Amino acid sequence: MTRIVLIGAGSITFAKNLLSDLLTFPELSESTIVLHDIDPERLATAEAMATWMVAELGIGATVEAHADRRAALDGADHVINEIAVGGMAAVRRDFDIPARYGVRQTVADTLGIGGVFRALRTIPVMVGIGNDLAELAPDATLFTYTNPMSMIPRAVYEGTPFRNVVGVCHAARDTQSTLARMVGVPEEEVSFTTAGVNHQAWVLRFERAGENLYRRLDEVIEANPELRRRVRVEIYRNFGYFPTESSEHGAEYLPWFLPHADQVERYRIPVGVYLDWLADGHAEYEQQKRSLDDGKGVTIERGEELASLAIHSMETGTPRLLHGNVRNGGLIANLPADATVEVPCHVDRAGVQPIRIGELPVQLAALNTLTLNVGELTVRAALEGRRDHVYQAALLDPNTAATLPVHRVRELVDELIAAHGDLLPEGIRA
């Protein structure tokens, strides 16, 4: 019986989407679903939800809930990670403290000073998970949704003996769907190749029956001035390939937008929007908890989550092409070999098999390298406990560096380290 473990199962909406997928696959309906969270209330809510779904579907799946992570991971076949270390309080610090220094952020979970500190909080926990898996479930596959995606898998395979880790994210798939809609072509008729770095990958091929659909996209953009007020469209117009991240998210990976008030207005960038999303998520959790407490349950509807699809392919042999974040090792020839890159992957009984891309266009590799440089220093800071690398990561971060002089960057780092305290690696907070 397949043992599927959800780490951070108290993220109820995400867990609901994953379980809706997993439990409605007939081939997975007898699985053991294992839930783990450090928050007892949220873990109990997740257990109630999973148990209700199993009963509602009338299937034979078994549900376990463990506050002890090692008990949850023991004997796992597949592990899905969705943790948020420090919760809403830590995220608010990531926004509020930089804002006092004049640093604007939108989501603060991938790059920027917020992304750096989210990684510094998360990496020690991920190293613990990787070490547990190496001991308790060495043949398992770890699918991780937690950002920063370009840093988390790297920290696991650099900092632990466990290597079978894949980052999964919707951005590439959603961007391909968006582009097909923009040019009015059914997605199933379009040939795509999309690769790069998570949240900054690129649609390298966008064709239908040999027709380059980028030419049609240019016509659509030219005819609609409002499209030219989107960050990702501006990046496309200057670098020649469409990026995979939304405008509000992608704005904070670059130096040209958030540091400038007029550009924030021009491109309609919603500063601090992630805090609104978190508040909506908390309200949704409370609603779902009340519904479960009242015996009404939750809505079960398929969402085609990437981890669920990958697990189904690995268990049944059903071939799929999905995007994964994996160790580069030459998959993208002009990015560092040890970097985590996002590429299309074949998935079947043989597991996740990344596709070699070759070289990116030089301008795209240059932008990706800026992102990877910040991640390299952040991962090393966390694994080696080096505070100097935290300063250096922040100084190299495009948005932070375009906003603040050197001494203010260092002061901001010091204040964030003091605020996050024990959530950070010991050597950094010393």
Binding residues for Mn(2+): 169, 199
d(CA 208, CA 93): 46
Q: 45: buried, middle or exposed (CB in 10 Å: 19+, 13-18, 0-12)?
A: buried
Query: Would you call 78 a catalytic residue per the annotation?
Result: no
Cα(163)–Cα(282) distance, integer angstroms: 34
Q: For the chain, how are helix, strand and coil distributed in percent, rounded to 5?
A: 55, 15, 30
- The whole-angstrom separation of Cα 151 and Cα 156 is 9
Neighbours of 330 (CB within 10 A): 12
Catalytic residue among 36, 66, 78, 170: 170
Report the candidate in 270, 238, 237 with the shortest Cα–Cα distance to residue 251: 270
| Cβ atoms within 10 Å, residue 358 | 11
Residue (of 266, 262, 196, 275) closest to 233 by Cα position: 266
- Cα 191 to its chain centre, rounded Å, is 24
User: Could you give the CA distance from residue 429 to residue 421 in angstroms, rounded to a whole number?
Assistant: 6
The total of other beta-carbon atoms located within 10 Å of residue 270's CB is 13
**Which residues line the annotated binding site for substrate?**
147
> Which residues define the annotated binding site?
147, 169, 199
Strand partners, 141: 78
Range list of β-strands (E), 269-337: 320-327
DSSP 3-state of 203: strand
How many angstroms separate the CA atoms of 94 and 151, rounded? Answer: 17
| Beta-strand runs (E) in 75-199 | 78-81, 141-144, 165-167, 191-197
Q: Which residues are the active-site residues?
A: 170
